[in-house]
Structure 1
Amino acid sequence: MVEVAKFVEYLSLERGLSLNTVSAYKRDILQFFSFLEKNKRSLSSVDLKFLSNYLITLKENDFSSSTILRKTASIKTFFKFLINEGIISLNPASFLKPSRKKTKLPSFLNYDEIKTLIETPDTTNLLGLRDRALLELLYGTGIRVSEVINIKLEAINLDVGYIKVLGKRDKERIIPLGRVAVEYIKMYLEKRKSFFLKGKEENNFLFLFLNWRGIPLTRQAIWKIIKKYGLISGIRKKLFPHILRHSFATHLLRNKADLRVIQELLGHSDIVTTQIYTHLEHNTLKEFHKKYHPRG
Structure 2
Amino acid sequence: MYKSSFLEYLQIEKNASPLTVEHYAHDIDEFFVFLQTEQLSIEQCEYSDIRIFLSGLYDRGLSRRSVSRKVSSIRSLYRFLEREEKVKQNPFSFVSLPKAAHPIPEFFYEEELQELFTVSDLEDPLGQRNQAILELLYGTGIRVSECTNVELRDLDFSLSTLLVHGKGNKERYVPFGAFASQALKHYIEDGRGKLLQKGKGNTDRLLLNAKGGPLTARGIRLILNKLVDKTAITADISPHKLRHSFATHLLNAGADLRSVQELLGHSQLSSTQIYTHVSKDRLRNVYMDSHPRANK
Q: Pick the aligned partner of 2:226 from 225, 228, 233.
A: 228
After TM superposition, the structure 1 = structure 2 runs for residues 210-221 of structure 1, keeping only pairs within 5 Å, are 210-221=208-219
After TM superposition, the structure 1 = structure 2 runs for residues 276-287 of structure 1, keeping only pairs within 5 Å, are 276-282=274-280
Q: Pick the aligned partner of 1:28 from 18, 31, 35.
A: 31
Q: Could you tell me which residue of structure 2 aligns to residue 144 of structure 1?
A: 143
- SS of corresponding position for 1:213: coil
Alignment of 1:101 with 2:100, yes or no, is yes
After TM superposition, the structure 1 = structure 2 runs for residues 120-131 of structure 1, keeping only pairs within 5 Å, are 120-131=119-130
How far did residue 215 of structure 1 move?
2.1
CA pair 35-154 structure 1, distance change in 2 beyond 3 A: same
- SS of corresponding position for 1:108: coil
Q: Could you tell me which residue of structure 1 aligns to residue 272 of structure 2?
A: 274
CA distance in 2, matches of 1:221, 1:114: 20
How far did residue 31 of structure 1 move?
2.0
In the alignment, residue 179 of structure 1 is paired with which amino acid? Answer: A
Contact 1:156–1:163 (CA under 8 A) maintained in structure 2: yes
**C-alpha RMSD of matched pairs (Å):** 3.8
- SS of corresponding position for 2:202: helix
CA pair 12-116 structure 1, distance change in 2 beyond 3 A: same
CA pair 201-102 structure 1, distance change in 2 beyond 3 A: same
After TM superposition, the structure 1 = structure 2 runs for residues 56-71 of structure 1, keeping only pairs within 5 Å, are 56-71=55-70
Greater Rg over alpha carbons, structure: 1
Q: Could you tell me which residue of structure 2 aligns to residue 186 of structure 1?
A: 185
Compute the TM-score of the two structures, normalised by the length of structure 2. 0.72
Q: Could you tell me which residue of structure 2 aligns to residue 292 of structure 1?
A: none
Identity %: 34
CA pair 69-236 structure 1, distance change in 2 beyond 3 A: same
Alignment of 1:133 with 2:132, yes or no, is yes
CA distance in 2, matches of 1:121, 1:174: 28
CA pair 55-36 structure 1, distance change in 2 beyond 3 A: farther
Q: Which consecutive unaligned segments of at least 5 residues does structure 1 have?
A: 287-296
Q: Which consecutive unaligned segments of at least 5 residues does structure 2 have?
A: 12-20, 285-296
CA distance in 2, matches of 1:285, 1:187: 38
CA distance in 2, matches of 1:59, 1:233: 39
Deviation string 1:81-110 (CA, Å, 9 cap, x unpaired) is 6xx99979xx99776433442222222111
CA pair 115-16 structure 1, distance change in 2 beyond 3 A: same
- SS of corresponding position for 1:133: helix
Equivalent pairs, count: 266
Q: Could you tell me which residue of structure 1 aligns to residue 114 of structure 2?
A: 115
In the alignment, residue 214 of structure 1 is paired with which amino acid? Answer: G
In the alignment, residue 257 of structure 1 is paired with which amino acid? Answer: A
How far did residue 245 of structure 1 move?
0.8
CA distance in 2, matches of 1:98, 1:198: 53
Compute the TM-score of the two structures, normalised by the length of structure 1. 0.72
